[in-house]
Every structure is written in C-alpha cells, then in structure tokens.
C-alpha cells in the first residue's frame, strides 16, 4: 500500500477530519516518504522522538505511526531536536503518520479503548469531554481490586 492510500483509509476509519477544529496536532501524514515507496512494514510508538525513529528504522519500518507527532498548532522553526528528527526521517526515507485525539477516542482501536479492553472493563461508556467530544472510556472493573 502506498502512503496516500493508507492516509485515505486511516482518515476514514479513525474519523480524523471530524476533529480537525479541536485538535492542535497535525493528524495524518506529517512527513512523507518517497512517492514510489510502498508501506510494507510499520512501526508504532507513542512519540516521534529520535529513539522511536531510530528503532523503527532498525526494525526495517517504512512508516512510523505515532500518537504524538512532531507538529502541533502553529509552525515552528525547524532547528535543534526537531531538525534532527526530521533529517533522520528524510535520510531513512521513512514516513511519519500521527493521530492524536482521533486515536484517543476511537472505540475499537484507540489507545483508551484498548486499555479498557486489557483491564476487562464492563459497562463501558464515553468519558472525558474535550471541547464537547468524548475522548476516553470509563467502566467497571470485572472484580474488586486493590493497588497493593
């Protein structure tokens, strides 16, 4: 699959464009790989830090999919750590794809939904309102537990 086709699929499945007005993250393609490149292997991380980029490259990934990308809100000067991470991606011909609030709120594959699944929460319902949109999930633990 090429990057553009992945972006079309992800925008639809994760409903990325529905949150454009309230999410400061640049959701979607943040750094493109070469147009002819096929995305055959993807790495996933929370942040687009240098270590995530390096490890994705070492694993042979064509794209790094992250929750917290490199670009937020207004344009920033490309210098320092941002410049170094951008250079790494370009040198590796690796795409960077970010998905912030749409991934927080997605009921099937979102990070909050998956944590709720792993905890075995029952009677789940939307939780955590941000600008009128629910971005989390609450529920009941399957049995009482302690923090000990």
pLDDT in tens, the chain (148 residues): 999 999 999 999 999 999 888 888 999 999 999 999 999 999 999 999 999 999 999 999 999 999 999 999 888 899 999 999 999 999 999 999 999 999 999 999 999 999 999 999 999 999 899 999 899 999 999 888 888 7
Same domain, yes or no: 25 and 96: yes
- 51 lies in the same domain as 92: yes
In the chain, what is the greatest distance between 2 CA atoms, to the nearest angstrom? 53
- Pairwise CA distance, residues 53 & 38, whole Å: 18
Q: Is 132 left (phi over 0), alpha (psi -120 to 50) or beta?
A: left
Same structural domain, 118 and 68:
no
Rounded alpha-carbon distances, angstroms, from residue 71 to 23, 25, 30, 31, 113: 11, 6, 7, 10, 25
Q: How many domains does the chain have?
A: 2
With tokens 């410049």, the residue in question is 83
Inside any domain, residue 147: no
* Domain-located, residue 116: yes
Report yes or no on whether pTM surpasses 0.75: yes
Domain that holds residue 126: 106-140
Q: Does residue 80 sit in the same domain as residue 14?
A: yes
Q: Are residue 69 and residue 124 in the same domain, yes or no? A: no
């Amino acid at each position: 699959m090429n990057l553009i086709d992945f972006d079309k699929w992800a925008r639809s499945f994760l409903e990325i464009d529905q949150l454009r007005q309230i999410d400061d993250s640049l959701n979607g393609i943040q750094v493109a790989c070469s147009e002819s490149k096929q995305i055959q292997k993807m790495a996933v991380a929370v942040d687009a830090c240098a270590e995530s980029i390096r490890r994705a490259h070492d694993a042979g990934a064509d794209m790094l999919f992250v929750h917290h990308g490199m670009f937020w809100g207004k344009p920033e000067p490309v210098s320092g750590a941002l410049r170094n991470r951008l250079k790494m991606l370009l040198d590796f011909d690796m795409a960077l794809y970010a998905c912030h609030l749409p991934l927080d709120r997605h009921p099937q594959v979102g990070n909050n939904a998956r944590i709720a699944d792993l905890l075995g929460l029952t009677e789940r319902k939307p939780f955590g309102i941000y600008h009128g949109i629910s971005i989390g999930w609450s529920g009941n633990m399957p049995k009482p537990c302690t923090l000990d």
